[in-house]
Structure 1
Amino acid sequence: MSDLYSDMNALNGPISTSINNLMNLQKFFLNSNNFSSTIPPTLRELKDLIWLYLQDNFFTGQLPLEVRNLAALGKMDVSVNQLSGVLP
């Protein structure tokens, strides 16, 4: 699977750490849901990720430093959450 679109589905809870099993994932859309908890550092395993959209949820904490290792990442939106700190 290269694209995962699960936006606007009222999904909740944390993002499963098993998401890193989708090694070929390029586009990841979880925006406009009710996700909470922190953004998992296991996202670093998604080396082919080019788009990451997590905006309009209830994520807390800081954006994982591991996100800076996603060399292919070209677009990311984490706005409208409860994140703190600086971008890595």
Structure 2
Amino acid sequence: MGCQKPQREYFDLVCRTLGIENRSRAVMVGDNLGTDILGGNLAGMDTIWYNPGRLSGNGRVQPTWTVDRLEEIRAIILDGEHRQE
């Protein structure tokens, strides 16, 4: 592949492979701020940090949403829940 998370090129390749043209309609869900969330942010995607341990963030990488239960992801994606403040 030649690239990996959090490189933007990785997310570009994934989006091309999946046929995602409009990244405003895509969400990166991950449990790692330094790879999943940072990479999604760099690629211009909304991000959901799955944080079941309720760890404190590092202050540098800001997810669009943070959840501690998988059920919350459904509400965000399917029900159009607003961005966290």
Alignment TM class, shorter chain as reference: 0.3 to 0.5
TM-score (norm 2): 0.35
TM-score (norm 1): 0.34
Rg larger in structure: 2
